[in-house]
Every structure is written in C-alpha cells, then in structure tokens.
Amino acid sequence: MLILSDMDSVVADWDTGYDNLLDSLGSPASRLPRHHERQVFNLHHGLGPRQSGIVRRVMDTPGFYANLPLVEGAAEALNAMLDDGHDVMLCSSPWTTNPTCASDKYDWAERMLGVGWADRVILTKDKTLVRGDILIDDKPSIAGRMEPTWRHILFDAPYNRTVTHLPRLSQWANWREVLWEESLALAGSLQPARTL
C-alpha cells in the first residue's frame, strides 16, 4: 500500500511550534487563537488586518519549520509502516512565502525520522496530483485539479472534529487498526474484471 502522510500537525508538531512562536511575540499576538482554540483550518479566518499580519510574520519566520518537535508516536509509526512493507511518503504543502520552508522540511524529515526520509518528501500545493492509496492529513477537505487516487484519513485536530464522513486517526498509536479498516474498504471497492 502507498501511504501518504502530511507533515504539519500530523508528523511535525506544527501546533506547538506555532503557539510557542506566538507566545514569544507577546502582545498583541497573545490575543490570537492558539491551536486548541481554532475551530477553522484557515489561520486567517475571523482575523483583522493587524492580526493577519502577525500570522504572516510567524509563518514567514525563517527556520520555523526546521525546529518543530515530533508528534508523539509519529516516527515510530511511519518507520513501522515501512517495516511492514508499505511504501510511505511525506506529502506536504509548503508555505511559499517562507524563504526556508521547503529546505527546512527536507532537513527536518532526515533529522527527525531518520536516514533516507528526505528522499520520501513530496512538496506540492495540490495533493490531488500525487498518487497513493491513503492520505493521512489534518485538513478537513482537500481539493485540487484531479480526482484523488487516495482515500483521505483525517488526522484529529480541533478544527476538523465536525467532519464525520471521513475515517479518523486520533493518535499514531492507533495507525494499524485504522489502516486495516481502510485496506478492507479499498479491497472492497475494487471490482473484479469482467470476463467476456
């Protein structure tokens, strides 16, 4: 099975990094919603121009993506998937106005997940263009130019809890159970070839 996993808020603890950087800025950044308070995926939702400017400042900080901690259990789960014979790729959307985002993501994968993981990073603004069987992502809805070949497994976050039509991975410790259910669903959706 070809498994695609998002990086930010799924493997890399973007939420803690973002909250910590906001905290370091003091007021008026202290009034911006923190990760656990966000009800919408879009960081700029409901913000005025000044607050949106602070968000852009945080997101454009060089080195921001290089210093994110790991999400608990992510490295163990991804490496166990490889050990189980799955092909695993990190599929992430870069923050294009951050001058070091792309290189930070490659560097982060190699440092935090182990040797060879930088070669497993795919950076794209349109994940529907990437082929795979499964995509594990925290974004509630993923659209693009193509009909995805992958099934979306939602990685749990406060801003996606109203989504009930997608399978959900609440923590990496449960990855085998969720992937097993999805592999059964995938097998069930494959129709046998008709013979004439």
Instruction: Please tell me the predicted confidence (pLDDT) of residue 186.
Output: 73
Instruction: Please tell me the predicted confidence (pLDDT) of residue 180.
Output: 86
Which residues does 23 contact at the CB level (< 8 Å), separation at least 6? Answer: 29, 30
Instruction: Please tell me the predicted confidence (pLDDT) of residue 189.
Output: 64
Share of residues in the chain with pLDDT > 70 (%): 96
Catalytic residue among 6, 13, 104, 137: 6
Instruction: Please tell me the predicted confidence (pLDDT) of residue 35.
Output: 82
Confidence band for 140, pLDDT divided at 50, 70 and 90 = very high
The answer to whether residue 6 is catalytic is yes
The answer to whether residue 107 is catalytic is no
pLDDT digits (tens, 9 = 90+) for 11-41: 999 999 999 999 998 888 878 888 888 888 8
Half-sphere CA count of 123, side-chain side, radius 13 A = 13
Instruction: Please tell me the predicted confidence (pLDDT) of residue 66.
Output: 95
Between 34 and 79, residue with greater pLDDT: 79
pLDDT averaged over the chain?
A: 92
Q: Domains, the chain, ranges and CATH? A: 2-12+68-189 (3.40.50.1000), 14-66 (no CATH)
- CA proximity to 62, closest of 22, 96, 100: 100
Query: How much is the pTM?
Result: 0.91
Instruction: Please tell me the predicted confidence (pLDDT) of residue 28.
Output: 80
Strands 121-123 and 134-137, by their bridges, are unpaired
pLDDT digits (tens, 9 = 90+) for 36-78: 888 888 888 888 999 999 999 999 999 999 999 999 999 999 9
Terminal-residue alpha carbon distance, the chain = 30
